[in-house]
Structure 1
């Protein structure tokens, strides 16, 4: 969190020098770029640190209940939100609930008739060092184009 706090402080200093329209454009670019980076990483079955997702559990026979990769289409449902003061990337609706369960590794009942299941932690969204470097380079490129 120290790196994120430092990045926020750095962004605050830059934001003071930009007009609201310029800040909104910068936040839009950052949010959309991060959405694409998160979507691609989820499609590759990787967490922000670059590790592979923990695979699905097997049933009593030893087979995986659903074939294929986890979260095949969830990356398409990433949402962005931005204004002159902030940028956010995340999920909405039912997808947000599913993502939160996997992000935190919660113990929930998949439906009202099933027994509670412990889900493995699979970080879907988050910042890596590569993301922080990308953000810094995007801001620098934006500032060089503006001035």
Structure 2
């Protein structure tokens, strides 16, 4: 996957250099916003970047009452308040901010973490919250080509 991004960067880099720094920042900001929305929509669909579904929650010995177990995973974490898209002159980034970044990292890489502050430890399955699909790469490529075509 990083090879694809490197190839795109090598191919498009000289073309982007033709843009003014302010235009590059605006392009990066627009790309970051679009990618943030696409990542949030994919998290809402409970899908990994490759299209496979997230690992389901661990089954309980008895049915737990309450909406937490019945609801969709990561309902709040995908809000713009936590999932940030930032554009700079040389980069567009999408990531989690604040305390939820630790939670996202645990699920992204399938790490071991406390369930509660003084509670038991649990090995969380890997759920790729952030990542780029082929469709994301195509959207970025099209946005860059559209912007460069209008600027030349």
TM-score class, shorter: over 0.9
Instruction: Report the equivalent of 2:40.
Output: 39
The 8 Å contact of residues 19 and 151 in structure 2, kept in 1 or not, is answered as: no
Higher relative contact order (CA 8 A, sep 6+): 2
Deviations 1:80-134 (A, max 9, x none): 1211111100101111111000000001112342221000100011111111111
Displacement over 3 Å in runs of 4+: 62-65
For structure 2, the residue ranges without an aligned partner over 5 or more in a row are none
The 8 Å contact of residues 48 and 54 in structure 2, kept in 1 or not, is answered as: yes
Distance in 2 (CA, whole Å) between partners of 1:112 and 1:40 is: 30
Instruction: Report the equivalent of 1:74.
Output: 77
> Normalising by the residue count of structure 1, what TM-score does the alignment of the two structures yield?
0.92
> Normalising by the residue count of structure 2, what TM-score does the alignment of the two structures yield?
0.89
Distance in 1 (CA, whole Å) between partners of 2:63 and 2:125 is: 18
Q: How far apart are 1:135 and its partner, in Å? A: 0.7
Q: How far apart are 1:63 and its partner, in Å? A: 5.3
CA RMSD of aligned residues (A): 1.6
Report which stretch shifted further, 24-33 or 73-82: 73-82
| Residue correspondence of structure 1 range 1-147 to structure 2 within 5 A | 1-61=2-62, 66-76=69-79, 77-147=82-152
Q: How many residues of Structure 1 are paired with residues of Structure 2 in the alignment?
A: 147
